[in-house]
A and B are shown apart, each in its own frame.
Chain A
Amino acid sequence: MRPLTLSILALLLAVASPHAKSPTFSEHVSSIIYNNCTSCHRDGEIGPMPLTNYSEIAAYADMIKHVTETQYMPPWKPDYNYSQHIGARTLTKTEINTISNWVNAGFPQGDIALEAPMPKFPTGSVLGTPDLVLTMAEPFTIRGNNEDQYQVFVIPTHLTEDREIEAVEFRPGNRRIVHHALIGADITGTARQKDLETPEEYGYESFGAFGAPTTVVLPGYTPGAKPSIYPKGVGHILPKNSDLLIQVHYAPWPIAESDQSSINIFFKKEPIEREVGFISMAPLTTDGETLSRLLRVLLGEERHGGTPVEKIKINDIFIIPKDWVKTFHTTLFIDRDISLLSIYPHMHLLGKYWEVYATDPQGNRTNLIRIEDWDFNWQGNYTFTKYQKITAGSQIHAITTYDNTTNNPLNPNYPPRQLTWGEKTTDEMLLLVMEYIPYRPGDENIALTVGRGGEISIDFNGNGQKDFADFLLFVQNFGLNRDDASYQRHFDLNGDGHINFTDFIIFANQFSAG
């Protein structure tokens, strides 16, 4: 009886036209804001204004309309229609219109009984009890001079043997100022030495990356992103006696504040069959040396049975003359079948545009990422919603554009000056790092997901049980895409914008997991 009434209700809701009369906060807008904004916009988080109830949201109504119409918020840089990555934060056209119509109508509250429930935001780890917690030895105080600050902290792991890693979770100490963090491991002691060279402060400053060689780069942190868990049999190895390096980017802030962040590490329960390796793409320097060879060593590519990159080509030397807008085309030649897990594009302040795609020997194209309006502040490592198979003989192409004119407000030089590769704010980079594993048949059908077990909720009707009613709700929404008026995000379990077969597999796994 109950499941039936519920499903009929859901059906009616789905079929009903969005809103004949003007939308109200309770009925139409609260669920959009609570599910897309409040994770960052609440007390102590990085979003500056809390958006946790009607009056807070109404007080910023015109601004919320503006930032959603211009797609400044929620922050998500990759072009969603080009390729899909986990955790995409985008609003549908319907959602954006709903907000605009609501604001234009004078942002009425409506019947408070219809207000959407606030999602449960985890207070501790979202993954459970970590096997190893590494914390910054002391709090670090930022200068508070309205400039970005990039500080590397060196934390010894004291591991007596190599450990296989399933997940890494960065926990900011001060979420208001931590803008992003990169995590790596150093076994050479270089970073430790660098830290000693600046005894007056904890850690050392380094803008471009770690300023030290890393044998493994672990998943980093951006606000609002959930930590990813490596699939069964796949993971990284954290070497014994290694030092963990965290490069923390602190947002520009007008007063001094301090932060003491920590990292939760989860070891694999079952052995790794395929260790995650790295492919990197970087240009030639002025003297013609392949930076990528250097990076290969830095990223420990030699550890993984040799790199699958046969060679690298770039259409020009990596120099960006002043008053120029310059585009580079870099190509990687891949010599074996591999599966890509994630992609991390990186450039500095002149950067405008990134596009990466693969072409196989038959000329078929796979889009990997496009960022139309590069923003250094929101750089990140993007995990594909499923493995991307790259066959032997494929080429991976990267198109990157840099604006070294006065039209680029972020230009570090005024008037502009010629720039080339380097680690400083006033240098540039063209760097692409991808995580890969050797291909196995069937990889392309495996969905990559975030969070552990209960993180994805298939208890759609919220009755505390995963039951037949949830199955019915799922089936009713099957086949919907994000631009359909009745599309509801929580049925799209991998967040790729389509409620389809991959979601069904996730659903089935969750369902049988009891």
Chain B
Amino acid sequence: MNWRYNITAITIAFFLFSGSGLCASYKIYIFMGETCPVSRHYTLTLKELHAQYASEKLEFIGVFPNRLSTPATIAAFKEKYALPFTCIGDSTHTWVNRLGATITPEVVVADTSHTAIYRGRIDNTFADLGKRRRVITENDLADVLNALKDEKPPAFRQTRAIGCIITSWQNTKD
């Protein structure tokens, strides 16, 4: 057992525990990679969405599932791109497995019992890797957040996120 996993476990336990105490009804989990260029690109959009929608009922949480993520790499990323929300490590993939994330960046909007109502891309900026749309035409996450703000939770929807595949490494032979 690595000390890093202990810290992650403690952080997760803290969030699980404190989550029930807060009156936030939905959490917006954003899976991100410190060195994934698409994650880097979206930091700007996420700041804007956070400024517009974050509230006691809509809490943003950055989740960093890369195997080499450490509290230090996460803190450095958060500072460099001035992310205004809590960021946690998940190199053991507890959150990845619980919420079904496969890509960074990918968002999962879930209620306090971790039932997802949205999983997928933030918007349609990327048609594919390296294919950056010059005019964004679908703002998927903003649509979900608008509906929640109006207290009209939409039915579950999933879209395809473009970015870096999260390497699942539990079964590696190294």
Contact = CB atoms under 8 A, between A and B. Distances in A.
A409 B169 contact: no
Interface in B43-82: 43-45, 66-68, 80-82
Interface in B3-49: 33, 35-37, 40-45
Interface string A399-430: 00000000001111110000000000100000
Given A48-B36, A108-B174, A255-B81, A61 B169 contact: yes
Interface string A313-352: 0000000000000000000000000000000000001000
Contact of A109 (B66, B133, B174): B174
B114 interface: no
A409 B41 contact: no
Contacts of A377: 130
Interface of A: 48-50, 54-56, 58-63, 66-67, 70, 72, 105-109, 145-146, 252-255, 349, 375, 377, 409-414, 425
Nearest to A50: B35
Given A63-B165, A67-B129, A55 B171 contact: no
Contacts of A108: 172-174
B98 interface: no
Interface of B: 33, 35-37, 40-45, 66-68, 80-82, 127-135, 137, 164-169, 171-174
B172 A58 contact: yes
Nearest to B136: A414
Given A252-B41, A349-B134, A59 B67 contact: yes
Contact of B133 (A49, A54, A106, A410): A410
A255 B36 CA distance: 15
Contacts of A411: 134-135
A61 B68 CA distance: 12
A252 B131 CA distance: 12
A411 B168 CA distance: 36
A375 B33 CA distance: 25
A146 B44 contact: yes
Given A48-B36, A255-B81, A145 B44 contact: yes
Contacts of A50: 35
Closest 10 CB pairs of A and B: A409-B127, A49-B35, A414-B135, A254-B44, A48-B37, A59-B67, A108-B173, A62-B165, A409-B133, A106-B173
Contacts of B43: 254-255
Contacts of B80: 255
Contacts of B173: 105-108
Contacts of A66: 165
B172 A107 contact: yes
Contacts of B169: 58-59, 61, 107
Interface residues of B: mostly helix, strand, loop or mixed? loop
B66 A59 contact: yes
B131 A410 contact: yes
24 contacts: A48-B35, A49-B35, A55-B67, A55-B68, A58-B172, A58-B174, A60-B167, A61-B167, A61-B169, A62-B165, A62-B167, A63-B164, A66-B165, A72-B129, A72-B130, A106-B171, A109-B174, A254-B40, A255-B43, A409-B127, A409-B132, A410-B134, A411-B134, A411-B135
A413 B135 CA distance: 7
Nearest to B163: A63
A48 B32 CA distance: 14
Nearest to B33: A49
Contacts of B171: 106
A62 B168 contact: yes
Contact of B135 (A49, A54, A72, A412): A412
Contacts of B33: 49
B81 A254 contact: yes
B91 to A, nearest CB: 9
A59 B68 contact: yes
B100 to A, nearest CB: 16
A58 B67 contact: yes
Contacts of B45: 146
A329 B14 CA distance: 65
A106 B164 CA distance: 18
B119 to A, nearest CB: 18
A143 to B, nearest CB: 11
A414 B134 CA distance: 9
Nearest to B174: A109
Contacts of A413: 135
Contacts of A49: 33, 35-36
Q: Which of A54, A63, A377 has the most CB of B within 10 A?
A: A63
Contacts of B164: 60, 63
B137 A106 contact: no
Contacts of B35: 48-50
